[in-house]
Amino acid sequence: MPVADYKTYCKMLDNALKNHFAYPGVNTTSMITANAALAAFAEKKSDGIIQVSSGGGEFASGLGIKNSAIGAISMADHIHRMAENYDVYIAIHTDHCPPKKLNSFLIPLIDETENRRSKGLPNLFNSHMFDGSVLPLNENMDMAVTLLERCAKSEIVLEVEAGVVGGEEDGVNTEGTPAEKLYTTSDDMVEVYRKLSAVKGARYMFAATFGNVHGVYKPGNVKLKPEILRKGQEAVVKKHGEEARFFLVFHGGSGSSKGEIKETLQYGVIKMNIDTDTQYAFSRPIFGHMVKNYDGVLKIDGEIGNKKVYDPRSYLKLAERGMTERLMQACDDLESTGRTLFR
C-alpha cells in the first residue's frame, strides 16, 4: 500500500484517539532501519509512523554530502517505494526541528512537497515537527502558527512542542534544565490550543512534556507525571469544548514502564517516539556477531579472515531483525497491534 494520503493519515490519528492507543513513531537513519520499521509494522498489522530527524537526514546523505534535507528526502523516497509492498498504512514524519534549523531542514522539505504537489504528485511527507520549546511560549507559538498555515495549504500535519524534554538526542542536550521546565502547565496547553486553533482546518499534534527525558535511565531516575496530560486536556476541554482535545505525542519514552505508557494512552497520546531502544536493538546483534566471529572478521596472525562474516550483509541482517523485533514489542505496548485501517 502506498504511503498514507492526508485523508487516511487523519483517519489514523482519529482512530488512535478514539480507541486509546498510539502509533510508534520510529526514528530511522538509513534504508536498513527504514526496512526494519516497515517489516515490524507489517508483521504486527499495525499502521505506523516512520521518522527522520535532521541528524538522521544528514547521516543518510553520507559523509560526502552531509545535508540533512537531501538525506531526509532520499529516505522518504525509499520509504514510499518500499511501503507499496506492505498491507499497512505508513506515514512519514520528520522529528525535532529547532528554530535554528528551520531554513536548512524543515523549510526545504516543505518546499519539496509543494513542488511535488504542483506537478500532481503525492506529498513526500505527511507531517513535520517544529520544536520551538527553546523559545518563550508566545514566540514558539507565533512561529508555529506561521508554519501551520503553510503546512495546512499542502495537507501536512504539524507537530509542535511546549516545555522541554530532558536528556540528549540528535546532538541537542538539555541536561541541567530546571525541573519546572520539564512539565507543561495546563495554562500552557490552553494557550497552545488558542493559538493553533486560529488556523482553520489545520491538523496538528502536540508534544506536551510531563517529565519525559530522551535516552534510557535506571529506574527511579526519571520522574514522569502523566497526570499533567490529564489535567491539561481537562482544562482545554472545559474552556473550548470536546473538539479541542489534543492529539498528544510522548517524547523520550524509551525505558518507560508499560503502566506509564498505558496511562498516557488514556489521556490522548496517539504517538510515542521510539529511538534509543531501537538503536540498542540494532547495535546489539552486531556486537554479538563481532565477538562470536572475531577471528573471521579480523585479519590477525597472518590469517586472511572469513569473508562470510565480515561481509556487512551478514551482520546488518541481524541488526535489521533486532530492530524489527523491538519495534514489534512497541506496537504491543502501545496497543496498535492488529489495528491497521488497511483492508
Question: Residue 58: phi, psi to the nearest 5?
Answer: -60, -45
Instruction: Give the residue numbers annotated as catalytic, written as ranges.
Output: 95
- Percent share of the chain, pLDDT over 70: 90
Whether residue 254 lies inside any domain: the answer is yes
Task: Tell me the DSSP string of 182-238.
Answer: GB--HHHHHHHHHHHTTSTT--EEEEE-BS-EES---TTS----THHHHHHHHHHHH
pLDDT score, position 166? 44
Helices (H), the chain: 6-19, 31-43, 54-60, 68-83, 107-118, 137-153, 186-196, 227-240, 258-266, 276-292, 294-297, 307-310, 312-333
Q: Determine the residue type at 332.
A: D
| pLDDT > 50? residue 174 | no
Q: How confident is the model at residue 207 (pLDDT cuts 50, 70, 90)?
A: very high
Structural domain harbouring 22: 6-333
**pLDDT, average across residues 7-19:** 98
Which of 118-132, 195-209, 256-270 has the weakest average pLDDT?
Answer: 256-270
| pLDDT > 80? residue 104 | yes
Whether residue 343 lies inside any domain: the answer is no
Contact yes or no for 72/109 (Cβ under 8 A):
yes
How high is the mean pLDDT of the chain? 92
Grid coordinates standing for 179?
525541573
In this predicted model, what pLDDT tens digit does every residue of 33-78 receive, in sequence order? 999 999 999 999 999 999 999 999 999 999 999 999 999 999 999 9
Whether residue 75 lies inside any domain: the answer is yes
pLDDT score, position 183? 84
**pLDDT, average across residues 289-300:** 95
Q: How confident is the model at residue 222 (pLDDT cuts 50, 70, 90)?
A: low
Distance (Å, rounded) from C-alpha 78 to C-alpha 88? 16
Distance (Å, rounded) from C-alpha 156 to C-alpha 91? 11
Q: How confident is the model at residue 260 (pLDDT cuts 50, 70, 90)?
A: confident
| pLDDT > 80? residue 212 | no
Task: Please compute, for residue 158, the number of CA atoms within 13 A of its CA located in the half-sphere on the CB side.
Answer: 29
Whether residue 342 lies inside any domain: the answer is no
**Environment class of 23 (CB within 10 Å of its CB; exposed 0-12, middle 13-18, buried 19+):** buried
Distance (Å) of CA 224 to CA 66, 122, 221, 260, 297 = 36, 39, 10, 8, 43
Whether residue 299 lies inside any domain: the answer is yes
Distance (Å, rounded) from C-alpha 103 to C-alpha 8? 29
Beta-sheet strand order (sheet of 172-173): 172-173, 166-169, 213-214
Q: How confident is the model at residue 255 (pLDDT cuts 50, 70, 90)?
A: low
Grid coordinates standing for 212?
519525559
pTM: 0.92
- Percent share of the chain, pLDDT over 90: 83
pLDDT score, position 18? 98
pLDDT score, position 169? 46
Whether residue 341 lies inside any domain: the answer is no
pLDDT score, position 176? 47
pLDDT score, position 177? 46
Whether residue 169 lies inside any domain: the answer is yes
Q: Which helix (H) or strand (E) holds 168?
A: strand 166-169
| pLDDT > 60? residue 257 | yes
| pLDDT > 80? residue 172 | no
Question: Residue 253: phi, psi to the nearest 5?
Answer: -90, -10
Instruction: Tell which phi-psi region holds residue 25, choosing left (phi > 0), alpha (psi between -120 and 50) or beta.
Output: beta
* Count of domains observed in the chain: 1
Q: How confident is the model at residue 167 (pLDDT cuts 50, 70, 90)?
A: very low
pLDDT score, position 254? 67
| pLDDT > 70? residue 334 | yes
Whether residue 339 lies inside any domain: the answer is no
Domain CATH for 83: 3.20.20.70
